[in-house]
Chains A and B, each alone.
Chain A
Amino acid sequence: MRRHPPAAVHAAQVLGSLAVALLIVVAVIMVVAARLPAIQDELPELEEQREEDAERQEEEREQRDEDRSRGQSPLCDRAACRMMDGMTTTPVRLTPTEGDAILADNFAPWVRELGLIVAQATMTVDGATDTVAEATTVYAIMAS
């Protein structure tokens, strides 16, 4: 029988024992990873994240209730409309003709000559519920 030189045996034993260490690492990772889904609700950073989400949702709900009590449009709940804080957010009802009249009264002739008109547009708001139905039709100033 052919005998391995001591150096080769030594190297093989070292590599083999390192391979065992690697197997231990893989096994531990698999076992712990399998357990993690069951305990993820108790982990601190996830708990903090959940609390932050709950606080944010609570703030949004309070803001919606406050807007409703002031008679403002539900559109104000939208992030884009929040940028308009301080501006009139109550839905304005007028016809395109009335809008053109406002343009004529308030804009200089050279501005109107740019081609500004009042047109009717429809905007869908997050799946349009009954509460936002009145606000789904808006009038926008746009270039013709």
Chain B
Amino acid sequence: VDDVVEAVTGGHVTAVKIVLTSVMLALAVYQVMLIAVGYGKVRPPFLTAASAAVTHRAVGDAIVGLVVVVGAMCLLYYGVEDSVEDGAPGPEGRATLHVVAGFALAGVLALKLVVLHLWRRAGRLLPLLGMSVLALLFVTWLSSAGAFLVRS
């Protein structure tokens, strides 16, 4: 599996992960804007709520795909132990936070998909779940990719 991941990423596994997680975070912020239009909280003249909702759904699917790919790369290539031992630079415990936030992100994202597709009666939880996904994405990014990028 390691060889496959290295071949796909050209040997730059961490660099590819940093790019992908940064893209995910940026798209997640865009998602918040879109759903604000979708819920009618913001009414720009150039975008209707229905159009924003459709785009929100499409971009959300893309983010789920990226989360699965990056999560698989993390677990299969680095594993939980290596991630904690050889994590991003910074205070001790940051890598542990990354692992916890990553698993929490996967869980919340799965719950959101369940609410969207199977448990529609819990639809009122969607805004809370969406904001949780954004927050966990931010923590996951900050505890790994962000730690590499922001460090001078």
Contact = CB atoms under 8 A, between A and B. Distances in A.
Nearest to A19: B55
Interface of A is mostly: helix
A17 B22 contact: no
A32 interface: yes
Given A24-B27, A29-B23, A32-B19, A17 B14 contact: no
Contacts of A16: 46-47
B134 to A, nearest CB: 15
Interface of B is mostly: helix
Given A13-B46, A21-B27, A44 B14 contact: yes
Interface string B9-26: 001111100110011001
Contacts of B23: 24-25, 28-29
B88 to A, nearest CB: 8
Contacts of B18: 32, 36
Contacts of B149: 32, 35, 39
Contacts of B27: 21, 24-25
B19 A29 contact: yes
Given A32-B149, A42-B89, A43-B148, A17 B34 contact: yes
A29 B30 CA distance: 15
A29 B24 CA distance: 11
Contact of A17 (B6, B11, B55, B86): B55
B104 interface: no
A45 interface: yes
Nearest to B25: A28
A10 interface: yes
A14 B55 contact: yes
A24 B14 contact: no
Nearest to B82: A44
